[in-house]
Structure 1
Amino acid sequence: EVGISDCSSQLLDKAWLRPLNNRFSPSTLRGAFQTLKAAFKQAHELRYIDENPLSDLSFTMLLPASIKPKKAALAGLPLSEVIKQFQHFIPPDRFLCLLCLGFLTRNTETVMARWRDFDTQIMSWSIPEEHTKTGAALTLPLSSYSLKWLADYKRQQRRYCSSRFLFPVKQGRSSWSSSYAAQRIMKASRGRFTLHDLRKYGSTYLRDSGVDYYLVERLLNHKKTNLDATYIHTTLRAPLMEVIECWHRNISEVIKS
């Protein structure tokens, strides 16, 4: 009913934003707006439309209120309570949570992991660039505790499946998708936390424990400035290994108790 050239800030405010403002959070609405704006931009670049009426429109023009990051669901809990949240999950779900918490990895980086990515000789986990959000490959040190976690989980997996993936679909020919993994954990936790909440909790725990900012950023694999990259790409394996070993020891002690 509305011509493309008539898609203005006034129209979006009246017909879209106001009806949905009480149903969705500002961050959700911002994501929807960014998707809409990207679609208009691509349509204009491909010459499906002569003009892009949203080219100069920003979300803050529609909703000036600042958008605060969503508070982590596990914030403020002791480590023992966090691990208790997923300790009763079935092995694949439990191990996925353990990796995201223990290595601060993202959902996709974790669920697409293959057994060959873990080198137990040099004690490292290699995450290829095509699996990371930043497009930068990441190598994480393995602790003596995580070697045991991997060995135990591999024995469990072999009872029902033989696959090159840590989190395979039924036939073992491919890995879970990130959306499927997210749904599994949401269901298992009854909506109490997500995989990203575990990543957030782990990074906060390490920072509160006094771990160097750049070491935590390296584990998180955040996009780096040139200055950060110069610092981070120096010899960091030893301090990273020390951080991981200590962090995994704390986790293992909680699991044992």
Structure 2
Amino acid sequence: MKLNISTIRSAKPKAKPYKLSDGKGLFLLVNKNGSKWWRFSYRFNNKQKTLSMGVFPDTGLAEARRKVDQARQLIADGKDPAEKRKEAKAKKMGADAFETIARKWINTQSNEWSESHTKSVIVSLEQNIFPQIGHEPIKDITPLRLITVLRQIESRGSLEMLKKVRQRCNAIFVYAKIHGLIESNPAEGLSQVLQSHKPKNYNSINIKELPELITAINSYPLEPTTKAGLQVALYTFQRTNEIRGAQWHEFDLDTGLWTIPAERMKMKREHIVPLSKQVIKVLKDLYPITGHYPFVFASSHKPQTQPFSENAMLYALYRMGFHGRMTVHGFRHLASTTLNELGYDGRHIEKQLSHEDKNAVRGAYNKAEYLPARNKMMQEWADFVDNAHTGKVIPINSKAN
């Protein structure tokens, strides 16, 4: 049913933002604070996208519909309306505007970033920096001007975002300086006058609590995919997104190797994960359930097209009584700490965690580095975990071979 002015004006805010649809992808987003934003939802190159169409009442219903008709025509012509808007904005701003230079820097760096990280960088700048100084010539931005903008993030208490945005601004100004667009970097040294972010400590149990965790995973009534995901996380200590996005074609159960493609890795580098006998069994047991779908940990609602939710494993830990005690990221901390204490080679552990040395002097990236040693380490870790289930968590004083 199409909207009318009366319906729009009478729409009241609720506890959560909600949508009022007008058809053809146009909807009105009513926010908790009462503001009303026009949005256009569309698909382009098999990706779902949303484009702002203005704020009511500054942009009326008729104007919002006219903008949607224009956007739909662009899509029919094979053009992405979001990209066309960015191009028009860049032309209007000028070639030396901060946002123009920033987007050139992003295009250069995106070859080394995952798609999700690239999107995160763009969003952080679009929300925190571009509205303030995006239109200003980059050579005119002074340290005082930049710090005034960054102070707004600081005042919200968003110190982690402040650190990320400050570092990204610094990289943009370095890029501009290298290309002769500025003589000095106004972001240099700003960390000394801004509040610092204290890294978040992910909750993780200690090794003595491992038997309790394993018992809970094995005995608690969970979806088969969720239980298998937790077991794989425990045995391989890979990241949540690497596990939930796993597809069957990435696994070679005969050789016991899981090859995670570069586009799914945080550092955009292919990563090889040795599989213990225990992991292979978990996957073989799961295959009759999800083997006919692309995703190993397929969603129960849309198994043909998507994996389980990003919080499926975390919420399972909560339900099992580990809220505030353990996270999926905590598996990585638990394994890293334990293996280091057991005397395993730190290089092998870091490689398994996909913590790569960024120092190019050390040579080309080697996805199979330390693979024989890591094969041995991962099987011994899986055996250690299984022994823990029987209550045999005993510190080993001698160095691991």
TM-score (norm 1): 0.73
Partner Cα distance (1:233, 1:20) in 2: 41
User: Residues 97 and 59 of structure 1: is their aligned pair in 2 closer, same or farther, counting only changes over 3 Å?
Assistant: farther
The SS at the match of 1:62 is: coil
Amino acid corresponding to residue 249 of structure 1 in structure 2: D
| Other-structure match for 1:25 | none
User: Residues 152 and 99 of structure 1: is their aligned pair in 2 closer, same or farther, counting only changes over 3 Å?
Assistant: same
Task: Determine which of 189, 194, 202 is the counterpart of 2:317.
Answer: 189
Alignment of 1:141-152 (within 5 A): 141-152=274-285
Q: Which runs of 5+ in 2 are unaligned?
A: 1-130, 134-140, 392-401
Amino acid corresponding to residue 243 of structure 1 in structure 2: M
Q: Does structure 1 residue 176 correspond to structure 2 residue 310?
A: no
Partner Cα distance (2:238, 2:336) in 1: 10
| Other-structure match for 2:239 | 106
Quote how far apart the aligned CAs of 1:243 are.
Answer: 0.8
Structure 1 stretches of at least 4 aligned residues deviating more than 6 Å after TM superposition: 39-42, 230-235
| Other-structure match for 2:212 | 81
The SS at the match of 1:126 is: strand
User: Residues 32 and 92 of structure 1: is their aligned pair in 2 closer, same or farther, counting only changes over 3 Å?
Assistant: farther
Moved more, 192-201 or 246-255: 246-255
Q: Does structure 1 residue 140 correspond to structure 2 residue 273?
A: yes
Task: Tell me the alpha carbon deviations over residues 68-96 of structure 1, each in whole angstroms, 9 at most, x when there is no partner.
Answer: 43333124242213334544233222221
Count of residues in correspondence between the two structures: 236
The SS at the match of 1:69 is: coil
Task: Determine which of 97, 103, 108 is the counterpart of 2:230.
Answer: 97
Amino acid corresponding to residue 71 of structure 1 in structure 2: N
The SS at the match of 2:302 is: coil
Quote how far apart the aligned CAs of 1:105 are.
Answer: 1.0
| Other-structure match for 1:24 | none
Q: How large is the RMSD of aligned CA atoms in angstroms? A: 3.7
Q: 1 or 2, which has the higher strand percentage?
A: 2
Q: Does structure 1 residue 244 correspond to structure 2 residue 378?
A: yes
Partner Cα distance (1:237, 1:196) in 2: 23
| Other-structure match for 2:147 | 9
Q: Does structure 1 residue 58 correspond to structure 2 residue 190?
A: yes
Amino acid corresponding to residue 111 of structure 1 in structure 2: R
Q: Does structure 1 residue 215 correspond to structure 2 residue 345?
A: no
Quote how far apart the aligned CAs of 1:256 are.
Answer: 6.9
Amino acid corresponding to residue 252 of structure 1 in structure 2: D
| Other-structure match for 2:199 | 69
Task: Determine which of 295, 304, 325 is the counterpart of 1:165.
Answer: 295
Q: Does structure 1 residue 124 correspond to structure 2 residue 252?
A: no
**Higher CA-based Rg:** 2
Q: Percent identity?
A: 19
Quote how far apart the aligned CAs of 1:219 are.
Answer: 0.5
> Is residue 74–residue 82 contact of structure 1 (8 Å, CA) maintained in 2?
no
| Other-structure match for 2:26 | none
Quote how far apart the aligned CAs of 1:29 are.
Answer: 1.4
TM-score (norm 2): 0.49
